[in-house]
Chain A
């Protein structure tokens, strides 16, 4: 046996274990000698160095000395107690197994097979029912050869083999009767119920008496097979005596008996559909064995099949990160991305503001585009779901986009926030373009594959989680304190100084609140062999830290898997979400209404509090009174969303060597968003234009739908020298989004029809994509080498030529090295190359006239600002990556290291034009960008035992360079306020995220910062002790510069806390064109998550509470931030999600910390 080379990988997350105990003959009294062997459940190879402790089950204190297994996995316990024994076997990296050898038996040999950790999901119900059985002589019990077994009413007939065994593979899933006949025997019949997998029938010999049995020179071994997870018996498993044709099947209780075994060691090979094969060593002296079967490696969710590797998922050659449900939901997070922060290497996840309801950006492996689409592709159960951020339209009030500045400063929610993190079974993030090539031209930003929870066959499980939380603002800016009215007069003049009374008001505190939040989650799941279900509901209510803001969500979801007939498996899911929110009025504005813009001009001695008449005073220094704004202004959003998926798998062909499946997938994601902004006439700023009152109503309807059909042919020759899978398929995806805004002014009621002035705006996006893919995968050398090649051809309506197919190839290989077992558990190298695309944005190919304007009721058309490119093509990303996965002996340290280079050519650029051409920007392809980076994950378990401490670090490092820019340098036009306030400039040879400013006034723009972090580190710790578990997650970002315009506004308003001296000096530099004092280092260390959980003792829970389980936890999110950044939060983006050009801090929503108490009960 070759040991180390056959060990399956760690990182893949599918780690297995199986236990087999073969009790022998117990001695009558005193002690006995016990021998055994410990093997790997997957490979049957002996496990060396496993610790075996044998105890007296009745008095555990009586234990034999600990022994370790030898190189071949064998062990001997010289003096084992004589009674019922408890055998505990542990080996690092494997699930510790405890089993009992019953008293009174004479077992002297034990075979234990260990499974690696983390069992995979259970198998889907078998596509067709198989009836297995045995026809025996009623007297002797010997199998009858050549007996005919027929399903009554059909022509299906099978003949028994040498042992009397038969199998009817395609029996209907209904009660049937079997008619059995054999020469020389009376015919018999037996009922095989729909649920029964095996039948036994004994036939009476027609010859009187029959042959006398031989004297036994053999022995019989009885055994029982159970399922690892549930302990349920495994029915219908075939137990084969190695080296012979002898096969028996387990019965309804999972029991079997093998007769006529030689009086020597034999190996029993167990095979059962849906389970991993198992080898049991039955020593010459054994009469009884136990087997525990583990589910077969699955990774075959039908959703992923066709596009993903199907043979050996663990050998995926690309950096894929999987985050499971527990990791996601340890600390309550309002949104999915929030729950992913710090848990994925290679990912840079930053929030755009602290507003309730999310608004986060997930970037994988650096800058993937400059002007293309920046969101990763989100796929939920096969449905490509929308992650658009639809603005509220509040720009009509803030005029943030006036003055030539870019728009999209409304602080919108990106719609992936609608997903309920608690519904998620796992999140898999495919980073490399070679993995991303699965989704072709949409995958350049990475693919986030989300699997929602599915039921498992077995007992119904119901659980309820109640969380109660609290959130509070975690940072404030502060405000300058004035000592005297003279100081006030020097700053603001006599009139304003007359308001100085010596009292200082904390306006920031006055607009924020500490609020209570709650979340209730209930879920149920279960099923039987025909179908499974899983359902959940969620109600979450989370007030924001700014008064009047909130985020509420109600969500319900159901997922059903069903076996339809013999060959068809259906999987349908439906998720409905309703969310409402009020995000207040933050970010940039040019009318003085955004909270922090107003506060930047409000001295702390000005009293803004509501007067005794119930009205707020006007802010004498700014366009608005933020206390009034938080009290009266409404910025509501109401979203209904439905995500439905239906997938079907049809087994077309099945034989010993081949399996052909046809898979159909379909999904739809429909949401309807309504935005209601209402600024009542009472607000300070409203009468200013003579048109008091503003209402904005936005209605957005979006439909994403996709269809796919694919076929997979798997071929494994009898020799098992290789495994092979060929996939071929078609996909179609479409998006249809329409937003219609109505802006009304001069109104008194929050209904738009009272307005006397109305504007409307419509924005539509429609895309259609079609793809054709072909993939070949082959696994060799006992799965140690796997090779994958694929091609995806796609066309898209977003491309200039919508009929042209663009082809994206990928290649990947992994190889597991044979390494010295005393040093490594695993050493694997992998490499991949792949190409992916990024489609143009909708509209990039058109040059449109601007027809949405009028004068005096006369419509007119003008030039649009953008010159489209009718020949526009997708960007092409070529990525090569190589990695090594390593696990040191006993898994004390596990390291994953990946290096990559992504070269993106044919960049989608929105190039600034010489505006004398009549156009401001031009879309087109050109130029190239390169990212190089490293990702590392290191997991160490320094302490293991009563107290276990596991610590894990993720390092993400990326550097981008613009390698080619034929059209010359340009400032990113979709963000920013011009180079005077710091601009992102794309320039050959420079970082793609450089920030420029002409600080020396020489007319040239000089680099003054860079938006990309030097590195990010996520550091997670888990400490368990008895029933307690402590988890922490620390997120460290080093580097990344922010353009802190909030500070500039505070300085310009002379109210920065450090204005005197420091602020004046900054302003002095700024007034000479030097922006550098406001470009700050955004490095931070945040304590993202901390939780302490206690699981109540199972017995107590069951007896006292009548519950299945009970878990109580206390947790916190974003509790601490260590940073030198002077603003509210170093994670901020005034312009929302941007591939390049985040990191503008303009009066953002303040960040919050939250605490949660959770009680989770299983019923």
Chain B
């Protein structure tokens, strides 16, 4: 009996064990196939919000966009005892393609660009959207993609970038030059504008509080045009910039800081699974040159400096550097600007100056003065400044108005070919001009000329 029972048990277990399937699904994440192959209204909307989240990801990290470009532009230091590369690589240079410093601002934006193209494709095919909603999703996605690509090119500049983000992983799209990248950004923004125009009166998706004032297709278009204006100024298309500014939320009637601060922001919070602002970091200090270079109005120092920076009794230092200045601007839940009215005024001033028409200078100076007086508490500039003086003032006011909020200082000096204005704190320090193509990208592109471009 025992033998028979046991043999039976053996046979039964053989049958039982081999009969059932043992497949296990992904218990941690929704599969990409859901979005790529079976887009629905809901998952496309979730991915649309994901575009903002993804773009925000590296903005306010201690090693993120604002912080790193702030250090490169000598606005900030990071005295992180655990990572000497905040000084060794960013200030003493060169930026290294294999490090999370020099190799930055590539993977993140491209992941978001790829997500953006999934959103655009999903908006076309997912059931449950009206046509205007489809256009709204695409218009929003294209603006976000333009911002992602803009982050890549302002960091990598003449190195160039990839603009085709839909290629399979084993068929890499080429790295194209800076001009082609800016052209693609402009195209994305302009396509977006067209789509937003067809997007009806409301988006199908919610927007976070950082986009307050830009939550309808029409108002979002003014944000889109603001970015377009920045891109136009960066590419020297001053006339185009003025046109774009005309469609933007630029407001030159403002009388106080609140008016200057109108704009779109990346927001941070302590709500579940949200992100807090990593620029609140005890290692981040302001660059002493901010104090030294601040203009005064009588005894009063430029209010932008006193508002954004405070002096501590005891400073800190690392790598033979020291500072006793801290930024006030950020808390754990403080937003980081994407673009705001103050920048738009400065962009218009620059566009007017850039037309290279003396007749336009007074208008440029007028815009500068709005910013100087409201934001900086400084005296108005004389309307008789020369173009070169206006250039200096443009750079000065951009430096203090946009201080430590998006790498403007470093990008501006490079645009004006004046990186040599950046102070070198110590012998051996350098001025990095651009980020190299990251190691992993170069590994996949043997012989790629862009990979030989140095950061200095």
Are both chains from one complex? yes
A496 in contact with B314 (CB, 8 Å): yes
Q: How far is the CB of B417 from chain A (nearest CB, A)?
A: 25
A757 in contact with B96 (CB, 8 Å): no
Knowing A768-B22, A797-B22, A919-B169 touch, does A977 contact B81 (C-beta < 8 A)? no
**Which parts of B207-235 form the interface with A (CB within 8 Å)?**
208-210
**Which parts of A906-951 form the interface with B (CB within 8 Å)?**
912-920, 922
B46 in contact with A859 (CB, 8 Å): yes
Q: For the complex of A and B, list the 3 residue pairs with the smallest distance between their C-beta atoms, beginning with the closest.
A: A757-B270, A918-B114, A848-B29
The reply on B100 being an interface residue by CB < 8 A is yes
A1071 in contact with B88 (CB, 8 Å): yes
Q: How far is the CB of A1123 from chain B (nearest CB, A)?
A: 24
What is the 8 Å Cβ interface bit string for chain A, positions 784-822, against chain B (1 contact, 0 not)?
000000000001110000110000000000000000000
The reply on B54 being an interface residue by CB < 8 A is yes
- Point out the residues of chain A lying under 8 angstroms from B169, CB to CB: 867, 913-914, 917, 919, 922
A795 in contact with B22 (CB, 8 Å): yes
B28 in contact with A764 (CB, 8 Å): yes
From B88, B115, B274, A854 is in contact (CB under 8 Å) with: B274
The reply on A760 being an interface residue by CB < 8 A is yes
B444 in contact with A913 (CB, 8 Å): yes
**Which parts of B18-66 form the interface with A (CB within 8 Å)?**
18, 21-24, 26-35, 43, 46-54, 56-57, 61-63
Provide the bound-state CA to CA distance between A549 and B316, in Å. 30
Provide the bound-state CA to CA distance between A855 and B92, in Å. 36
From B26, B272, B319, A760 is in contact (CB under 8 Å) with: B272
A918 in contact with B273 (CB, 8 Å): no
Provide the bound-state CA to CA distance between A525 and B145, in Å. 71
B46 in contact with A846 (CB, 8 Å): no
A855 in contact with B283 (CB, 8 Å): no
The reply on A861 being an interface residue by CB < 8 A is yes
Provide the bound-state CA to CA distance between A1146 and B444, in Å. 30
Interface residues of A (CB under 8 A from B): 399, 402-405, 492-493, 495-496, 565, 567-568, 588-592, 594, 597-598, 600-601, 620-623, 650, 652-653, 662, 664, 685, 688-691, 707, 709, 711, 730, 732, 745-746, 756-760, 762-770, 772, 795-797, 802-803, 843, 846-865, 867, 912-920, 922, 968-971, 973, 977-981, 983, 998, 1001, 1003, 1005, 1048-1049, 1051-1053, 1070-1071, 1073, 1146-1147
- Point out the residues of chain A lying under 8 angstroms from B162, CB to CB: 916
- Point out the residues of chain B lying under 8 angstroms from A662, CB to CB: 6-7, 9-10
Knowing A399-B62, A846-B29, A912-B443 touch, does A860 contact B317 (C-beta < 8 A)? no
Q: How far is the CB of A985 from chain B (nearest CB, A)?
A: 9
Interface residues of B (CB under 8 A from A): 2-3, 6-7, 9-10, 13-14, 17-18, 21-24, 26-35, 43, 46-54, 56-57, 61-63, 79-85, 87-89, 92, 94, 96-104, 106-107, 110-115, 161-162, 165, 167-169, 172-173, 175, 206, 208-210, 267, 269-276, 278, 280-283, 313-319, 322, 324, 331-333, 428, 438-441, 443-446, 451-452, 454
From B22, B27, B83, B103, A770 is in contact (CB under 8 Å) with: B22
9 CB contacts below 8 A, A to B, read: A770-B18, A849-B34, A851-B29, A920-B107, A978-B103, A980-B98, A1005-B98, A1005-B439, A1052-B318
- Point out the residues of chain B lying under 8 angstroms from A768, CB to CB: 22, 24
- Point out the residues of chain B lying under 8 angstroms from A405, CB to CB: 100
A916 in contact with B106 (CB, 8 Å): yes
Provide the bound-state CA to CA distance between A979 and B436, in Å. 14
B84 in contact with A1070 (CB, 8 Å): yes
Q: How far is the CB of B331 from chain A (nearest CB, A)?
A: 5
Q: How far is the CB of A926 from chain B (nearest CB, A)?
A: 12
- Point out the residues of chain A lying under 8 angstroms from B111, CB to CB: 862-863, 865, 915, 918-920
Knowing A862-B112, A914-B441 touch, does A492 contact B317 (C-beta < 8 A)? yes
Knowing A590-B80, A843-B28 touch, does A653 contact B3 (C-beta < 8 A)? yes
From B82, B99, B454, A1147 is in contact (CB under 8 Å) with: B82
B53 in contact with A862 (CB, 8 Å): yes
Provide the bound-state CA to CA distance between A597 and B84, in Å. 11
Given contacts A796-B22, A849-B47, 10 further A-B contacts (CB under 8 A): A689-B332, A690-B332, A757-B270, A766-B24, A855-B267, A861-B50, A915-B110, A920-B107, A968-B443, A971-B440
From A403, A772, A849, B31 is in contact (CB under 8 Å) with: A849
From A496, A600, A691, A1005, B317 is in contact (CB under 8 Å) with: A496
From B29, B57, B81, A601 is in contact (CB under 8 Å) with: B81
B110 in contact with A917 (CB, 8 Å): yes
Knowing A404-B63, A847-B32 touch, does A912 contact B440 (C-beta < 8 A)? yes
Provide the bound-state CA to CA distance between A979 and B89, in Å. 12
Provide the bound-state CA to CA distance between A983 and B99, in Å. 10
Provide the bound-state CA to CA distance between A969 and B444, in Å. 9
B63 in contact with A402 (CB, 8 Å): yes
Q: How far is the CB of A624 from chain B (nearest CB, A)?
A: 9
From A568, A691, A757, A969, B271 is in contact (CB under 8 Å) with: A757
Provide the bound-state CA to CA distance between A977 and B96, in Å. 12
- Point out the residues of chain A lying under 8 angstroms from B322, CB to CB: 492-493, 495
A567 in contact with B319 (CB, 8 Å): no
From B21, B47, B84, B275, A802 is in contact (CB under 8 Å) with: B21
A856 in contact with B88 (CB, 8 Å): no
From A711, A859, A913, A971, B49 is in contact (CB under 8 Å) with: A859
Provide the bound-state CA to CA distance between A865 and B106, in Å. 13
- Point out the residues of chain B lying under 8 angstroms from A760, CB to CB: 272-273
Q: Which of A772, A843, A851, A1049 has the most CB of B within 10 A?
A: A851
Q: How far is the CB of B273 from chain A (nearest CB, A)?
A: 5
Q: How far is the CB of B390 from chain A (nearest CB, A)?
A: 38
- Point out the residues of chain A lying under 8 angstroms from B24, CB to CB: 766-768, 797, 802
B165 in contact with A1003 (CB, 8 Å): no
Q: Which of A565, A756, A1005, A1052 has the most CB of B within 10 A?
A: A1052
Q: How far is the CB of A1132 from chain B (nearest CB, A)?
A: 16
- Point out the residues of chain B lying under 8 angstroms from A688, CB to CB: 280-282
From A650, A968, A1146, B2 is in contact (CB under 8 Å) with: A650
Q: How far is the CB of B38 from chain A (nearest CB, A)?
A: 13
From A565, A594, A691, A1073, B82 is in contact (CB under 8 Å) with: A594
- Which chain A residue lies CB-closest to B314? A495
- Which chain A residue lies CB-closest to B269? A856
Knowing A848-B31, A860-B50, A978-B100 touch, does A853 contact B283 (C-beta < 8 A)? no
- Point out the residues of chain B lying under 8 angstroms from A922, CB to CB: 169
Q: How far is the CB of A925 from chain B (nearest CB, A)?
A: 15
- Point out the residues of chain A lying under 8 angstroms from B2, CB to CB: 565, 567-568, 650, 652
